[in-house]
Amino acid sequence: MSLGEMTDGKLRILRAVSTLLEDPSNRITISKIAKTVHVTDAAIYRHYKSKDEIFSSLLAYMETNLLGPLNAEQSDNHETAVRMHEVFNHYMDFLEGHPGLARLYLGHGATEASGVAERIKMLHAKMRSQVAQILRTGQSRGHLLDGLSPEQGTEIFYGMLVSAAMAQVYGFPMVEVEGRWEAFAVSTLGIKGHAA
């Protein structure tokens, strides 16, 4: 589900929850969401039946944004480095643009609503599986560094994503985005300084 398909009220609620997730001390309640949006609790319930439904919508948004590029890249481009670079850039933009969702991506807030922890786990499993598939295809075309398996390349790529999310969430210093990409391109694809 894209944010463009939502009513303004639902969008404001999801943005409020994302903002509340930025602070780990927040225990998210309907009342806190309503206060953040500057409406009554009843106004929240006009858009969503429960906090579980709000989190379900938020997770659907994350899934669309984190799985969509992998699906699109599998069909759009045959050059592994270009495909992976586009996915990487999309992920970096998403994590930097959504600090609360970066926190949720790392599992923070997973106990806020039922089913969140399981959906986050499944999201990670699907992302890893699709990255591995792109790298398997790349390996079959000779695009991976000799001696590196697609699974090892997936670990390197996924490690960079988690590291970027942690830097975003905890304010750790981090390597610039292009420096991160170059580290992956050199260590996995054997390409120095490749940019899409």
The pLDDT of residue 77:
62
Quickly list H helices, 22-176.
30-37, 41-47, 51-76, 80-97, 99-105, 116-140, 150-170
For residue 137, give the nearest of 54, 63, 80, 70 by alpha carbon. Answer: 80
Q: What is the pLDDT of residues 159-189, one digit of tens each?
A: 999 999 999 888 888 888 888 899 899 988 8
Question: CA separation (Å) from 19 to 12, 38, 43, 76?
Answer: 10, 14, 19, 34
Supply 133's token pair: 């598939």
Q: What is the pLDDT of residues 81-117, one digit of tens each?
A: 888 999 999 999 999 999 999 999 999 999 999 999 9
pTM exceeding 0.85:
yes
The tokens 């054997």 sit on which residue? 190
Checking if the pLDDT of 156 tops 80, the result is yes
The pLDDT of residue 95:
92
The pLDDT of residue 195:
46
Q: What is the pLDDT of residues 44-94, one digit of tens each?
A: 999 999 999 999 999 999 999 999 888 876 665 678 888 899 999 999 999
